[in-house]
Chains A and B, each alone.
Chain A
């Protein structure tokens, strides 16, 4: 509304100036009768104001154009990412289907328990892949209920689930939260989604740490307007050249290829964080470990 008002005003002013300049002033100098200034000054003033108005209008137009450019660029990036996703998904599906169909052909020559098991695992992977892709799609389109979330509760719930699994049994888990007088503020988010995101990060941390020496720290602190939630591990780390790609769908780091996984875990975390209006990054050193910090907006609703 505000923007439109400006346009109408500057346009109306320009029209007025043109009318005054072309009809009123040269013919009978009516304005001089009404106002005690010389026509020349009046004319120059009017033209000046008109130019200023036009200038403002142009400046706004430029800003608008810049905004549109940025938006288009953003959209292009989204489209590009989706195309890339589709291509890779297509490739993954093809691979699995090829594996299954060759397995079935092999079975045609006679039943063989190993091939049968192999086919079954591939089938399960295919089915799991479809589920994840479906979940990712829904993550983009389903409405989300935003609430005030106490991260300390979510951290505890995730730890309860994770430590109950045999894979986690030997790792050491540490939780580092701000102490007593200044507790962690609630964040604006969705409990279920944050639970899944943190669970995925812990899965990764477990997957890439050593059984006995593995230490995983969940840290959270705030800087007034955002809360940072970090999962740190002392695992195998990620190679520098792989770091820019680890958040991309289906990407698997060079050192991760011999471990099970779809390559969608971290991508899903990124999608969740983005949908919740947060930011995610990753830092890692080969042989030393990885830190994944997530920034989430502080909730402006105080939770009782």
Chain B
């Protein structure tokens, strides 16, 4: 067991989930702080001693909203990596707003402990040694000699200087994968990180993967950028660097 795996703040208003998650995270070697009320949680966030914050989006028992918490943190200049844990029944409008508030990853409940730990590890890995999380950069680049550039604000992508002309959905899929380099993401996990106007069926990912691969000239059998991991999902082959 590695005691220095990371110090995690777990903000969750449902005592049952809080207890189980704390147990799972501690078993995985993390140090966990799981406050039992909203005020303590806010004080701990302000104190800012954590490597990562796991934040439930719907904290209605505490009269709080996870998205507003991240927004305020970012507004105050707090750059601690945040994973927003979303529920099942948010309306479309709710979720779209969540994506603009500056969280680094999205996990949808219900989810297994393994997935939780894996996602936390990879976000910690991406942000280790004070590196800024990729989600905080306006541009991303990848590939050998960095031929691939994705403009997140400008909504465009270039391969060796040539524009890729992706439609909206393949672009969003591309952005999501690039934000999680070297991470095997299931179709469900990908969907959790996409705007809510995507149809809630994991297999829709495959439909938009095809034109993306075609634009990249990527052969699924020997991929340079996007690998299909059989029976699991997809993996973007890193490293990916953030760019101003």
Contacts and interface: CB of A to CB of B under 8 A. Distances in A.
Nearest to A134: B88
B210 interface: yes
Contacts of A123: 110
B194 to A, nearest CB: 12
B88 A195 contact: no
Interface residues of B, number: 15
A127 interface: yes
Interface string B21-54: 0000000000000000000000000000000000
Given A157-B210, A161-B207, A130 B199 contact: no
Contacts of A273: none
A196 B89 contact: no
Given A127-B110, A157-B207, A157-B210, A196 B201 contact: yes
Contacts of B210: 157, 160
B200 A134 contact: yes
Interface in B188-211: 197-201, 203-204, 206-207, 210
B201 A135 contact: yes
Interface string A139-181: 0001000000000000001001100000000000000000000
Nearest to A156: B210
Nearest to B108: A131
Contacts of B198: 192
A199 B199 contact: no
A142 B197 contact: yes
Contacts of B92: 138, 142
A138 B201 CA distance: 11
A161 B200 contact: no
A42 interface: no
B204 A131 contact: no
Contact of B206 (A130, A142, A161, A193): A161
A193 B203 CA distance: 11
Interface in B162-219: 169, 197-201, 203-204, 206-207, 210
B207 A135 contact: no
Interface in B80-94: 88-89, 92
A142 B92 CA distance: 8
A130 B88 contact: yes
A130 B89 CA distance: 10
Nearest to A158: B207
A195 B200 contact: no
Contacts of B169: 192
Interface string B52-95: 00000000000000000000000000000000000011001000
A193 B199 contact: yes
A196 B203 CA distance: 8
Interface of B: 88-89, 92, 110, 169, 197-201, 203-204, 206-207, 210
Given A127-B110, A135-B199, A193-B199, 12 more contacts: A131-B200, A134-B88, A134-B89, A134-B200, A135-B200, A138-B200, A157-B210, A161-B206, A191-B207, A192-B198, A196-B199, A199-B203
Interface of A: 123, 127, 130-131, 134-135, 138, 142, 157, 160-161, 191-193, 195-196, 199
19 contacts: A123-B110, A131-B88, A131-B200, A134-B89, A134-B200, A138-B200, A142-B197, A157-B207, A157-B210, A160-B206, A160-B210, A191-B207, A192-B169, A192-B198, A192-B199, A192-B204, A192-B207, A196-B203, A196-B204
